[in-house]
Amino acid sequence: MNRFEMRVDPLTQEVYYEVPLRGYALMQDPLLNKGHAFPASERRDFDLTGLMTETEGDLDDQVTRSYGIFKMKATDLERYVTLIGLLDRNETNFYALVARHLEEMLPIVYTPTVGEACLKLSHITRRYRGIYVTAANVNSIESILENIGLPNISLMVVTDGERILGYGDLGADGMGIPVGKIALYAAAAGIHPASTLPVCIDVGTDNERLLNDPLYLGIRQRRLRGEAYYQVVERFIQGVCRVFPRALVQWEDIGKQHAFTLLDRYAQRVLSFNDDIQGTGATAAAALRTAVRMKNRPLSEERIAILGFGQAGSGVANAIATMMNADEGISLAEARRRIFAIDMPGLLLEGMNVEPYQQNFLQPLDVIANWPVSKFNAPSLAEVVKHAKITTLIGLSAQPGIFDEPILRDLAANTDRPIVFSLSNPTSQSETTPEVCMKATKGRALMAAGSPFAPVTLPDGKTYHVAQCNNLYVFPGMGLGAIVCQASRITHRMFHAASCAISDMVTDAEREKGRLLPPLTDIRNVSFNVALAVAKQAREDGQGMVVSDERLAELLRAAMWEPHYYPYRPKRTA
């Protein structure tokens, strides 16, 4: 049974919910609960009279009260638990609160605090959200999806918990990430929470701490590997295609040994993308596009080093190569030669045994032929920065402090405006800090970080701002645009369009201050512009709805839900 149905009154055109629940059952459904904002008529019609104080309130005073409770909490983890508790009681109140204070609450509902919460999720979970898919229950996936009681699902955020931020394998405790991403989809792009679903594919964990923790809530066994793993995912996708055939599936924090396989395997079968690969790449490309505009030089003239060439690093590299190709006509092969990929062995070179996704970024051996380095070991980060004359340094390595002062000084010697992106999350994993970076480069760096950092003031009195290169700039608008334009698949060109839309929103005044991305306080407008760019590109690629730009904009604005209470009417009986 669906928990509600959205209907339109044929006479008044009023949009309302037809609700079968009554009394305490209605009050305890977080999607439908209005708290003391239930009007007298609904209290009477739904058997709520006397179940709450007589005073009638509204959403505004509920948000004010909730914010006051939030501000009382002493630690970020306590604030996280408070917000999730509100989400579990009253979703409309939660989304209105987060939307009103997004910049303040973003570090709580998502990185970095969500990482701390995932480390302890089995110990702080009070109410389950979303669904947990296992090898034992996956053959009932159609029933599981139908039992959530929602009329339609347009968006799923799916994790297997194997690569949670910089913490690695957290098993079922990684569910905090899809829950957080869903919250940001609603707050930033207005995707209605009733059309979203967080999903954890729990196939076990190899984390000894969790396996030995008696309070761990996930499956306490070693991870399924190989074909057994893929069979679970395949059966899950079959169920999605049958029950919610037009849902977008966002793969989230999947281990690198599976991430590219899943992305490739299901790209043509379901509307899907991987945020860690494609979202990270598009966001970094947007910031880099702004930076080279500030340097007044083509992107193809940059010498780019990427430290940490896993799924995020390769996603950034591919996004940059796509941008050079699309904007400057540089072939993809030529673009890749301008990118120096550095992973555990050092610089990736021809002849190395590497992962398939790294293959396109191997540098020819003749590149290092004249470098004064060992011929028996791959060049290190420091050697690459110095001898390849690197001008842009990007970190996705989760090695805190690896971009030290000597490396940054060498970088600054290669260019007037060095570009430094330390993108590892959370803050504790960042490759450098704004203070170290700006001191080493004498304030000349154009910097972005994966987590929020406060502005830094150097002894000369100048204050420098650091852009937060957060995927929030991309994924909400990508999801909104793809869903509304009824895209059949998501392409690299759609992500490139998203990058350009974001960069184009950075004003001259913001660039003067060193800002590489628009302010997060304007995220709803950013998401709209990204969604429109994505929908237009999908149309041009033959993947989306063929209507005018004006009609696409109209449809997108209509789809962007603002948190408010709909009127309820009792479900009619036959």
Output the pLDDT for position 108: 94
**Closest by Cα among 262, 249, 271, 245 to 203:** 262
Q: Rounded to whole angstroms, how far apart are CA atoms 200 and 313?
A: 24
Residues 315 and 232 in one domain: no
Q: Is residue 539 part of a domain?
A: no
DSSP annotation of 135 reads T
Check 17, 110, 229, 464 and give the catalytic one: 110
How many Å apart are CA 180 and CA 157, to the nearest integer?
10
226 and 282 in one domain?
no
Same domain for 77 and 127, yes or no, is yes
pLDDT by residue, tens only, the chain of 574 residues: 789 999 999 999 999 999 999 999 999 999 999 999 999 999 999 999 999 999 999 999 999 999 999 999 999 999 999 999 999 999 999 999 999 999 899 989 988 899 999 999 999 999 999 999 999 999 999 999 999 999 899 999 999 999 998 789 999 999 999 999 999 999 999 999 999 999 999 999 999 999 999 999 999 999 999 999 999 999 999 999 999 999 999 999 999 889 999 999 999 999 999 999 999 999 999 999 999 999 999 999 999 999 999 999 999 999 999 999 999 999 999 999 999 999 999 999 999 999 999 999 999 999 999 999 988 899 999 999 999 999 999 999 989 999 999 999 999 999 999 999 999 987 888 999 999 999 999 999 999 999 888 888 888 888 888 989 999 999 999 999 999 999 999 999 999 999 999 999 999 999 988 899 999 889 999 999 999 999 999 999 999 999 999 999 999 999 999 999 999 999 987 5
Question: Pick the catalytic residue: 17, 80, 181, 386?
Answer: 181
pLDDT at 454: 86
**Cβ-count burial of 20 within 10 angstroms (0-12 exposed, 13-18 middle, 19+ buried)?**
middle
Same domain flag for 201 and 325: no
Q: What pTM was computed for the model?
A: 0.94
Q: Tell me how far apart the alpha carbons of residues 85 and 125 are, in angstroms, rounded to a whole number.
A: 9
Q: Which range of residues forms the domain containing residue 22?
A: 5-57
241 and 201 fall within a common domain: yes
Q: How many domains does the chain have?
A: 3
Q: Are 200 and 309 found together in one domain?
A: no
> CATH number, domain at 51?
1.20.1370.30
Residue 530 lies inside a defined structural domain of this protein: no
CB crowding 199-214: b at 16 or more within 10 Å, else e:
bbbbbbbebeebbeee
Is residue 159, in this structure, part of any structural domain at all?
yes
Distance CA(545)–CA(396), nearest Å, equals 36
The predicted structure's pLDDT at residue 452:
82
Last residue of a domain, one of 452, 470, 488: 470
Is there a catalytic annotation at residue 185? Answer: no
What gap in Å lies between CA 97 and CA 86, rounded to an integer?
Answer: 10
Do 349 and 413 reside in the same domain of the chain? yes
Q: Is residue 503 part of a domain?
A: no
Q: Is 462 a catalytic residue?
A: no
Q: Are residues 46 and 171 in the same domain?
A: no
pLDDT value, residue 92:
98
Residue 458 has φ and ψ, to the nearest 5°, of -85, 170
